[in-house]
Chains A and B, each alone.
Chain A
Amino acid sequence: MTATNLAVASGPEIRGRSLWADARTRFFRNKAAVTSLVIFVLIVFACYVVPYLGLRAPDDLGNYESWGAPDLESGYLLGTDANGRDLFVRTLYGGQISLLVGFTATMVSLVIGVIWGATAGFIGGRVDGFMMRIVDILYSMPFIFFVILLMVFFGRNIILLFVAIGAVEWLTMARIVRGQVMSLRRQEFIEACLSLGLSRRRIILRHMIPNVLGPIAVYTTLTIPAVMLLEAFLSFLGLGVQPPMSSWGLLIKEGAEMMEEAPWLLIYPGLLFSLTLFSLNFLGDGLRDALDPKASKD
């Protein structure tokens, strides 16, 4: 502390560090977070690039046996499924869908939920009452009918899946953010903002949301697996991804049914799914710690 003060006093070339630069340094000092970042990038690369490097097609029935155990020599690294399709290739292609659904639907729910909750909690009173009753109403809607109707009006389209899932997943996020904001609203720094005449928009975006990042980051990392599993559920009902495309959720679901006869069908997609979520969890925690406005300055 004293060293910095001296430096500021003596040297004109010392510049202030931006919050972002601080956050970056803090993030890269966190080993768990950096490792997770590397793993996550590798997984994304594997799913989006590797399948196009001359592997079999995901619907290639080949001439290998059904339910073949993993076998290096024949090139079926992770074995085959009921139709003799290469599980390795199918898992990678499935990852494309899962990552896409997980990322997009989570982003939709994150943006809507945070803004909705922060606005309701900050303004309070009637506006809050009205906004939160809408949340209650949406919670109660029969979800499957909602999805069926989307499919009827807009045809079978994977984008609809994101919309449908995102539309329900933001509700709890909104409630969590609102609860936190209601508690923050009475704190001194917000009073200071108000007395400085800052606009509501600015207070919410610049002062409220950064202070609720902790629960937001955690709930986001809880939303991603929920979204991916909801996708599997809808696809299972015939409302989501259609064969021959697949997703991690669907592969795991199929694998769970065959786990005594062909355990690899459950284990490998499950491992990749878990690994992805683990890395996202630690990544989320690392980001939260890095962006925490109250983190100790050192």
Chain B
Amino acid sequence: MVRYAVHRLLVAIPTLVVIVTIAFFLIRIAPGGPFDLERPLHPKVMEHLERIYQLDRPLHEQYLSYLRNLLAGDLGPSFYFRDFTVSELILSGLPISVQVGASALLLALGLGGLLGVAAALRQNTRSDYAVMTVATLGVTVPNFVVAPVLTLIIGLQLQLLPVGGWGKPGNYVLPIIALCLPQIAAIARLTRASMIEVLSSNFVRTARAKGLRESVTITRHAIRAAILPVVSYMGPAVANIITGSVVVEQIFSIPGIGRYFVQGSLNRDYTLVMGVTVFYGALIILCNLIADLLYGVLDPKVRYD
């Protein structure tokens, strides 16, 4: 296991280089540039800007210098948010996105897991259907509907929580709810399906046959095996959610980093998009590695050799 983890961490370096390379050229081949405006700039001004941001040099030179700077930990200046470096932008928004995202994920994991197990234990009864109907609602009602409805009802009509602004604890509640609803749904459904399968497997029958209490059978044996698909699902989901959501950030005016992924792309903010891509890539690699190691911990049948 330790050898496997070390090996994977070593492989992460060339993987990241591949990600940087493909992303760099993908972004540059796309039409449009960071200084394209409705009214084109004067050619002289354009030339000047391109020289300042070193866009006038051949592409492969730019690529090599990007790699060199990246190794030194320098992600470059943002093209759109002038006066800010990409590292500053990411570091200032990241803690907020992580706080909101991680709370939403923990909540979703707890509630979703609980609902899924409960539904599986009462398969095809009314309570099962009720749980699954509620869970399904979580996926079918999209974020961009949940968020404004929440603001409208809880924020404006009941006046329970602040609608906009940022910084007070009350500001966190609505975005966390909006973020965690679809996750609860996904986790509950995955847990239910694999729990049903696990409950009919031989080792659960053995555990019951040797007279283990039902609660111990469920928590110690069944859930451990049943959680596997949820672990697979959570790997990329964690990376995705703690880097923020454009929609939720916009509606609740959260200063996180989710918006940079979309805005950066639309503004052709080359360095910003590269910065968030590298960061996201590293996070994906890390989360998937943790998920893979968890398989081994949870399920004795999974072995890395």
Contact = CB atoms under 8 A, between A and B. Distances in A.
A171 B237 CA distance: 11
Given A141-B26, A142-B273, A136 B284 contact: yes
A278 B140 CA distance: 8
Interface stretch (A55-63, A66-74, A175-183): A175-183
B136 A277 contact: yes
Interface string A130-174: 001101110111101110110010000000000000000001100
A285 B236 CA distance: 24
A259 B288 CA distance: 40
A132 to B, nearest CB: 7
A137 B280 CA distance: 10
Interface residues of B, number: 64
B23 A140 contact: yes
Contact of B190 (A145, A219, A259): A219
Given A183-B295, A288-B193, A256 B29 contact: no
A252 interface: yes
Interface in A173-221: 175-176, 178-180, 182-187, 214-215, 217-219, 221
Nearest to B146: A256
A6 B87 CA distance: 76
A94 interface: no
A270 interface: yes
B262 A144 contact: yes
A225 interface: yes
A179 B142 contact: no
Interface string B51-73: 00000000000000000000000
B235 to A, nearest CB: 6
Contact of A140 (B225, B284, B302): B284
A129 interface: yes
Contacts of A146: 26
A237 B190 contact: no
B228 interface: yes
Given A179-B229, A180-B228, A218-B193, A281 B132 contact: yes
10 contacts: A137-B15, A137-B18, A146-B26, A152-B30, A171-B236, A172-B237, A179-B228, A225-B140, A237-B262, A281-B189
